[in-house]
Amino acid sequence: MSKSKLEYIWLDGYFPTANMRSKTKIEENFSGKLEDCPIWSFDGSSTGQAEGGSSDCLLKPVSIFPDPARNNGFLVMAEVLNADGTVHETNSRATIDDENDDFWFGFEQEYFIMDTHTQLPLGFPMGGYPGPQGLYYCSVGGKNTHGRDLVERHADLCLEAGINFEGINQEVACGQWEFQIFAKGGKHAGDQVWIARYLLDRLTEEYGYYIEYHPKPIKGDWNGSGMHANFSNTTLRTAGSKEVYEKICEAFRPVTAEHIAVYGEFNDQRLTGKHETASIKDFSYGVSDRGASIRIPIMTVEKGWKGWLEDRRPASNADPYKVAARIIKTVKSAKI
């Protein structure tokens, strides 16, 4: 009789930045299929999602991946429900209006690898600073590249788990890296970003590191961390029209505040108009412009205005479910 370890992963009730929580359920003769994952429960009073006198919350499995680091293990992403089965107010995944998966998302997740002893990014000396930005981006060699072993192992784990993991690179600041996730459907993309984050965070336990998702952990002349959201739907993929793209981009302008509200805590420290960002106070878009709020990729233009857009404003600590939900709502409002 075989036994499997199902790691249920969910988002807690901390606001505005939710944390991942997880616990293991042992199942006998488990098929490995999502439909055979039972609904489970947890103590919501310990996660900011219920009162102690009525503390049960439910975990509804929504996606499953093999866990490459455990024997007979699975990673189960779960939505949080109230005890009566209704959607919990913290369930951001349930707010995504994309039932036919017409919207495709590619998230670029930036982050800093931090040393738990120094509380500084890898490569930062105690009491000082490494060399200035310029040579860290996509670098090679021990002088400018820090944390590659962790990053490579994380990439392997994601690929083994079946995540649509599209790449890695060291970023502009010292100790800063990025990975990319693509999926068809906002919910599926969000699931995979969260599972990839989970695998990365869990892996740091072996190294004496932790991952810093704060969008501006190092003040001064250092790049912050974002989670750029590349997105398309059938209209964007087939438009063939500059005017259509401009109309969709303009739909974002009047709801700038609504987007910023769900694009991550402390994002004002990152969106300054410097370090490849637009100011949080402005809205702009442009072809191949990394200083704009929304970048129109040059490849989209070269393919006859058929492709995607990149919203560069989401912070590294943003909830991909909330980002996807807001982008989908705005694009649909353009009524094209």
Q: Which domain holds residue 41?
A: 3-91
335 pLDDT exceeds 70? Answer: yes
168 pLDDT exceeds 90? Answer: yes
In this prediction, residue 63 carries a pLDDT of: 98
Same domain, 189 and 44: no
Is residue 97 in a domain? no
32 pLDDT exceeds 80? Answer: yes
Compute the average pLDDT of residues 134-139: 97
Is residue 255 in a domain? yes
Same domain, 262 and 294: yes
Same domain, 52 and 138: no
In this prediction, residue 1 carries a pLDDT of: 65
In this prediction, residue 52 carries a pLDDT of: 82
We report the CATH number of the domain holding residue 206 as 3.30.590.10
pLDDT in tens, 297-308: 999 999 999 999
Percent pLDDT > 90 in the chain is: 97
Is residue 99 in a domain? no
CB 78 within 8 A of CB 61: yes
Is residue 98 in a domain? no
Strands 20-28 and 3-11 turn out to be antiparallel
Same domain, 14 and 112: no
pLDDT in tens, 69-92: 999 999 999 999 999 999 999 999
In this prediction, residue 99 carries a pLDDT of: 84
pLDDT in tens, 120-130: 999 999 988 99
Q: What total of structural domains would you count in the chain?
A: 2
pLDDT in tens, 170-183: 999 999 999 999 99
Same domain, 116 and 75: no
In this prediction, residue 221 carries a pLDDT of: 93
**Of the candidates 212, 180, 173, the residue with the CA atom closest to the CA atom of residue 196:** 180
Confidence (pTM): 0.97
Is residue 132 in a domain? yes
* 63, 91, 119 - which closes a domain: 91
In this prediction, residue 54 carries a pLDDT of: 86
Same domain, 76 and 160: no
In this prediction, residue 121 carries a pLDDT of: 97
Same domain, 116 and 228: yes
We report the CATH number of the domain holding residue 26 as 3.10.20.70
Compute the average pLDDT of residues 26-44: 97
Average pLDDT, the chain: 97
pLDDT in tens, 226-265: 999 999 999 999 999 999 999 999 999 999 999 999 999 9
pLDDT in tens, 3-28: 999 999 999 999 999 999 999 999 99
Same domain, 51 and 186: no
Q: With bands split at pLDDT 50, 70 and 90, how would you rate the model's confidence at 34? A: very high
Q: With bands split at pLDDT 50, 70 and 90, how would you rate the model's confidence at 336? A: confident
Same domain, 253 and 293: yes
Q: With bands split at pLDDT 50, 70 and 90, how would you rate the model's confidence at 53? A: confident
Is residue 117 in a domain? yes
In this prediction, residue 299 carries a pLDDT of: 97
